[in-house]
């Protein structure tokens, strides 16, 4: 198959500025290539990255764009401008997958082939505009259910295929389990109100005095251009932590995947306290933490149901209580019991193996085959047989 992947307009590939979707589809596209398919990824131009080159068997085409604006209308406007640039550069394909808002509406079928839309956010009753595409691929059963309930007319297009780990975290998931870890509770994600960080700080303030040798680490971008809620919100969290006497370290974003892996692998407990009941789809940070052997704690949102089973490979708390007490109780259970913490971490690591790129890519390719009638794994001379993990930040052409 000839496969195009059109990413959104604001983050580059390689993902030197992070971006869950960017990391996921880079890993999947390299796996598609390794299985003998012709793969092109289209993304924004950035710094001194070549306008076009090949990395790990994938053709990269970069078109003009800019940093993400904070204003929603500006976001839509620049997404359209970016898509018009993509139209000019789009190579002929049998199937084109995209998470761009406007690309499914503007790219020509004569070039794109089957149009495959990645739905990676909770829908807002807008899926009817995509009724003419060939597939609405939802990253969790929770999102698939929401699309079908909100827009029954497109239910026949919906299929749930999960997010994938990157090759670095996939390799970690099958590595040995390490229980000798720092007494750290870590959060990784955007520093934004919807992530529930105020609950985490309040909870840590309640449990911290009983466990003075534990500390809280917050990893992630706070800048609006990177999806955070800005300097004001970061200072608000710092003030909340200081007032509560919480030792909280705000380290900023870690875009280098090796460094991020080390952060997870050092920490004992991972917390994702999101309160975004109409926002989260299938966060990748909990999967990464699970692959690295953290014991995960998540809020009681349906987006986590596919990956986390309570008391088996994670613990769940009631995020609707603004006091943070339910989260504090869960943290105390894990911080006070090595046995429970190790059991949950081992279950999490084992479950994370369901999301390695080879497994998830197979699900995509089987669906591509249904839509195009082309073989899932062609036998082709010179096909790339093995993909080496991409070194974050490298842009060397091959």
What pLDDT digit, counting tens, does each position of 163-180 carry? Answer: 999 999 999 999 999 999
Left if phi > 0, otherwise alpha if psi is -120 to 50, otherwise beta: which for 150?
Answer: alpha
Q: Alpha-carbon distance 318 to 330, whole Å?
A: 10
What pLDDT digit, counting tens, does each position of 244-288 carry? Answer: 989 899 999 999 999 999 999 999 999 999 999 888 888 999 999
Question: What's the pLDDT band for 243 if we cut at 50, 70, 90?
Answer: very high
Q: Alpha-carbon distance 281 to 16, whole Å?
A: 23
Q: Alpha-carbon distance 170 to 202, whole Å?
A: 33
- DSSP bridge pairs for 4: 40, 96
Which pLDDT value is given to residue 68?
Answer: 85
Count how many Cα atoms sit within 13 Å of the Cα of residue 172 in the half-sphere of its side chain: 28
What pLDDT digit, counting tens, does each position of 189-233 carry? Answer: 999 999 999 999 999 999 999 999 999 999 999 998 788 999 999
Structural contact between residues 169 and 292, judged by C-beta atoms closer than 8 angstroms: yes
Query: In Å, how far are 158, 162, 216, 263 from 247, measured between CA atoms?
Result: 45, 35, 6, 17
Structural contact between residues 86 and 103, judged by C-beta atoms closer than 8 angstroms: yes
Query: In Å, how far are 35, 109, 127, 204, 375 from 133, measured between CA atoms?
Result: 25, 10, 10, 46, 21
Structural contact between residues 392 and 16, judged by C-beta atoms closer than 8 angstroms: yes
The pLDDT mean for the chain works out to 92
Instruction: Tell which residue, 384, 319, 379, has the closest CA to residue 34.
Output: 384
User: Exposed (0-12), middle (13-18) or buried (19+): which is 165, by Cβ within 10 Å?
Assistant: buried
User: What residue ranges do the domains of the chain occupy?
Assistant: 2-164+356-372, 171-352
First CA to last CA across the chain, in angstroms?
21
Give yes or no on whether 2-164+356-372 and 171-352 have one common fold: yes
What pLDDT digit, counting tens, does each position of 44-92 carry? Answer: 999 999 999 999 999 999 999 998 887 889 989 999 999 999 999 999 9
Which pLDDT value is given to residue 389?
Answer: 36
What pLDDT digit, counting tens, does each position of 110-159 carry? Answer: 999 999 999 999 999 999 999 999 999 999 999 999 999 999 999 999 99
Percent of the chain surpassing pLDDT 70: 95
Residue 304 has pLDDT above 50, yes or no: yes
Alpha-carbon torsion (41, 42, 43, 46), positive or negative = positive
Structural contact between residues 162 and 319, judged by C-beta atoms closer than 8 angstroms: no
Superfamily (CATH H level) for 171-352: Glycogen Phosphorylase B; (3.40.50.2000)
Instruction: Tell which residue, 213, 196, 181, has the closest CA to residue 292.
Output: 181
Three-point CA angle 115, 119, 124, nearest 5°: 120
- DSSP bridge pairs for 204: none
Which pLDDT value is given to residue 149?
Answer: 97
- DSSP bridge pairs for 269: 185, 295
Q: Which tokens is 117 given?
A: 């839309």
Which pLDDT value is given to residue 387?
Answer: 39
CATH number, domain 2-164+356-372, options 2.40.340.10, 3.30.1490.20, 3.40.640.10, 3.40.50.2000: 3.40.50.2000
Residue partners of 374: CB distance under 8 A and separation at least 6? 1, 94, 368
Q: Give the phi and the psi of residue 396 in degrees, each rounded to 5.
A: -65, 130
């Amino acid at each position: 198959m000839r496969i195009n992947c059109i990413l959104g307009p604001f983050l580059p590939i390689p993902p030197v500025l992070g971006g869950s979707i960017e990391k996921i589809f880079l890993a999947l596209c390299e796996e598609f290539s390794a299985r003998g398919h012709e793969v092109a990824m289209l993304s924004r131009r950035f710094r001194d990255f070549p306008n076009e080159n090949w990395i790990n068997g994938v053709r990269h085409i970069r078109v003009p764009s800019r940093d993400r604006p904070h204003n929603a209308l500006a976001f839509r406007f620049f997404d359209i401008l970016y898509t018009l640039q993509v139209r000019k550069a789009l190579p002929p394909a049998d199937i084109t997958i995209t998470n761009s808002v406007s690309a499914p509406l503007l790219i020509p079928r004569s070039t794109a082939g089957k149009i495959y839309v990645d739905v990676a956010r909770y829908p807002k009753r807008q899926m009817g505009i995509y009724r003419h595409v060939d597939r609405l691929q939802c990253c969790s059963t929770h999102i698939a259910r929401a699309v079908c309930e909100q827009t029954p007319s497109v239910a026949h297009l919906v299929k749930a295929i999960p997010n994938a780990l990157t090759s670095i975290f996939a390799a970690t998931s099958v590595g040995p389990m390490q229980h000798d870890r720092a007494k750290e509770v870590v959060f990784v994600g955007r520093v934004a109100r919807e992530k529930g960080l105020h609950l985490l700080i309040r909870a840590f303030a309640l449990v911290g005095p009983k466990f003075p040798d534990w500390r809280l680490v917050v990893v992630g971008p706070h800048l609006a251009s990177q999806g955070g809620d800005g300097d004001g919100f970061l200072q608000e969290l710092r003030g909340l932590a200081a007032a509560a006497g919480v030792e909280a370290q705000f380290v900023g974003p870690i875009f280098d995947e090796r460094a991020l892996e080390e952060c997870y692998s050092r920490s004992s407990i991972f917390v994702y306290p999101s309160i975004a009941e109409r926002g989260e789809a299938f966060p990748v940070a909990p999967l990464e933490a699970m692959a690295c052997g953290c014991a995960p704690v998540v809020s009681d949102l349906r987006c986590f149901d596919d990956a986390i089973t309570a008391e088996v490979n994670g613990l769940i708390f009631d995020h609707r209580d603004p006091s943070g007490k339910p989260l504090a109780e869960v943290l105390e259970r894990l911080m006070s019991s090595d046995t429970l913490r190790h059991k949950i971490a081992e279950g999490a690591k084992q479950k994370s193996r369901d999301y390695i790129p080879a497994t998830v890519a197979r699900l995509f390719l089987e669906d591509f085959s249904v839509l195009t009638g082309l073989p899932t794994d062609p036998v082709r001379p010179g096909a790339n047989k093995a993909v080496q993990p991409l070194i974050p930040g490298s842009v060397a052409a091959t």
